[in-house]
Structure 1
């Protein structure tokens, strides 16, 4: 198993231990739990509402060790 898969699994386990957590999902429509708007500034590990500055973690973070492209994961 690649280090990217371990990192993603570890992150999912960490989020799962916290209980109820609002997460930003890249594939869905996300409304801010604070102001209700849906304009976001998206980083590698979190997304920030462009109106009220509320930051929430990404459901699938992207970083140097994490790839969302399935073709890249198959080659690793």
Structure 2
């Protein structure tokens, strides 16, 4: 989604996605209105974080090669 990033930026983005998703999973696990175990919430958050991190840093257009025609004008 963000294209080719330097390694440090990719690491920070992956770490942020994992922290946010695990935090949401923790929050869902401790809410009494939602019948969800804390461990299940953390695992679901970690799985969602891994999927989100993959979607954020993976370059989905890497395999698509476009050919560009260049017209050269001769004077």
- Provide TM-score, normalisation by structure 1: 0.32
Q: Looking at CA atoms only, which structure, 1 or 2, has the larger radius of gyration?
A: 2
Greater strand share, 1 or 2?
1
Of structures 1 and 2, the one with the larger relative CO (CA 8 A, separation 6+) is 2
